[in-house]
């Protein structure tokens, strides 16, 4: 599991009654707790999840100092503090993630397909990240190809507003966007595996078959849904 977190200056803007960066921090806290819950057997936290967390603006910041097992991460204090910077070099962040993945893949062949969860609130300022994301999506383990998920935090993403996240059927290959960058992120998003969809159905979400791992972060509930999805890996 690799989290790529846009910490450009615009993340200080409001999303509901909180700053975007604070909404993301809160959602990540919930997701990490969910991982711990799913990894706990009796009184022991197993090493089911391996997590890397990269914040990026014009540089990439390794927030955990490499890949950490979920039990190690929680013993070290859990979620690090996110600070905002200036620009949005998304390609540089995906290159860093690709390097981590290529080093980790030999030891991940018998587990679930790795997932990159990318959160951003605006257009990149460096190279086009799509070719790198496509390379990553071509990597695979026995379970299938590496998955890429995108959470797009913006006031206006979809032409049709999501009123009730529980009834929303998700982003599809035909979903229209108000923001042109939505189309770029959609092209960088994997199809949601059925196992993920079924896990979210157990939480009373109604995501359609064939929907993509892309979530419009127009409000805190949808941001939370996107991060919850990242923890819905199947049990091996």
Q: Which residues are paired to 214 by β-bridges?
A: 150
Taking residues 186-190, what's their average pLDDT? 98
Q: Where are the alpha helices (DSSP H) in 76-219?
A: 90-104, 130-138, 181-187, 194-202
pTM of the model: 0.92
- Where does the chain show beta strands of DSSP type E? 2-6, 14-15, 18-19, 40-41, 44-45, 50-56, 60-62, 68-69, 115-120, 140-141, 144-145, 147-152, 214-216
- Residue 172 falls inside a structural domain: yes
- Residue 197 falls inside a structural domain: yes
With a CB cutoff of 8 Å and minimum separation 6, the contacts of 194 are 209
Cα 148 to Cα 160: distance, rounded to the nearest angstrom: 24
Taking residues 59-73, what's their average pLDDT? 90
Cα 128 to Cα 233: distance, rounded to the nearest angstrom: 28
Whether 235 shows a pLDDT value over 70: the answer reads no
- Residue 235 falls inside a structural domain: no
- Residue 225 falls inside a structural domain: yes
Whether 79 shows a pLDDT value over 80: the answer reads no
Cα 116 to Cα 42: distance, rounded to the nearest angstrom: 29
Whether 98 shows a pLDDT value over 80: the answer reads yes
Whether 160 shows a pLDDT value over 80: the answer reads yes
Looking up residue 105, the CATH number of its domain turns out to be 3.40.50.410
- Residue 236 falls inside a structural domain: no
Relative to beta strand 214-216, strand 147-152 is: parallel
Whether 193 shows a pLDDT value over 80: the answer reads yes
Identify the residue with better confidence: 48 or 122. 122
- Residue 183 falls inside a structural domain: yes
- Residue 181 falls inside a structural domain: yes
* Number of domains forming the structure of the chain: 1
Q: Which residue range(s) make up the domain with 16?
A: 2-230
- Residue 224 falls inside a structural domain: yes
pLDDT in tens, 23-61: 898 888 888 888 888 788 777 766 778 999 999 999 999
Band (pLDDT 50/70/90 cuts) for residue 17 is confident
């Amino acid at each position: 599991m690799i989290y790529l977190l846009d910490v450009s200056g615009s993340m200080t803007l409001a999303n509901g009654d909180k700053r975007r960066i604070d909404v993301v921090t809160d959602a990540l806290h919930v997701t990490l707790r969910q991982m711990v819950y799913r990894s706990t057997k009796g009184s022991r936290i197993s090493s089911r999840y391996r997590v890397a967390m990269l914040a990026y603006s014009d540089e990439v910041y390794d927030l955990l100092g490499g890949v950490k097992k979920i039990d190690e991460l929680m013993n070290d204090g859990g979620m690090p503090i996110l600070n905002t910077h200036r620009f949005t070099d998304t390609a540089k962040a995906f290159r860093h993630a690709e390097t981590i993945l290529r080093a980790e893949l030999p030891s991940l062949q018998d587990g679930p397909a790795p997932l990159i969860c990318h959160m951003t609130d605006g257009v990149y300022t460096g190279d086009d990240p799509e070719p790198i994301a496509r390379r990553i999506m071509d990597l695979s383990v026995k379970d299938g190809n590496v998955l890429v998920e995108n959470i797009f935090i913006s006031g206006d993403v979809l032409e049709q507003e999501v009123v009730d996240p529980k009834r929303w059927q998700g982003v599809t290959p035909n979903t229209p966007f108000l923001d042109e960058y939505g189309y770029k992120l959609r092209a960088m998003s994997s199809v949601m595996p059925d196992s993920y969809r079924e896990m979210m159905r157990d939480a009373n979400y109604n995501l359609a078959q064939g929907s993509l791992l892309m979530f419009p972060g127009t409000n805190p509930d949808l941001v939370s849904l996107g991060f919850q999805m990242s923890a819905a890996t199947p049990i091996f």
